[in-house]
């Protein structure tokens, strides 16, 4: 299964206040958060428990940040489910790849 979605990083995003003043860039954790939330929307089975707290059950098995993301950029998130239960992700700004990696989503018991 493959999912593609977009993410707009607003120039007034609160993460820019301290990361970094004068030369703001999006923290990697903001990108990873967007990837995890997009992956959870794929409809794959999840572990039982509080459906609102499944992000704590995700495992990021690899993440590489390739290029900084600035205020006002629109990103494309491409997620591809693998046979082993992992999900590969690529985050791009136009033709420029900014992050890549893999995560493992919780599965139903």
The residues carrying an active-site annotation are 19
Among candidate residues 99, 100, 103, the one with its CA nearest the CA of residue 86: 103
**Tokens 């890549």 -> residue:** 100
> Cβ(59)–Cβ(103) under 8 Å?
yes
SS3 call for 75: strand
- Pairing state between β 86-93 and 59-65: unpaired
């Amino acid at each position: 299964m493959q999912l593609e979605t977009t993410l707009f990083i607003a120039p007034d995003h609160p993460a820019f206040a301290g990361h970094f003043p004068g030369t703001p860039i999006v923290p990697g954790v903001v990108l990873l958060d967007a990837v995890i939330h997009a992956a959870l929307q794929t409809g794959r089975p999840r572990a039982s428990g509080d459906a609102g707290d499944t992000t704590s059950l995700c495992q990021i098995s690899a993440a590489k940040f390739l290029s900084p993301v600035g205020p006002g950029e629109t990103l494309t998130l491409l997620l591809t489910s693998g046979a082993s239960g992992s999900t590969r992700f690529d985050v791009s700004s136009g033709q420029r790849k900014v992050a890549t990696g893999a995560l493992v989503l919780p599965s139903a018991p």
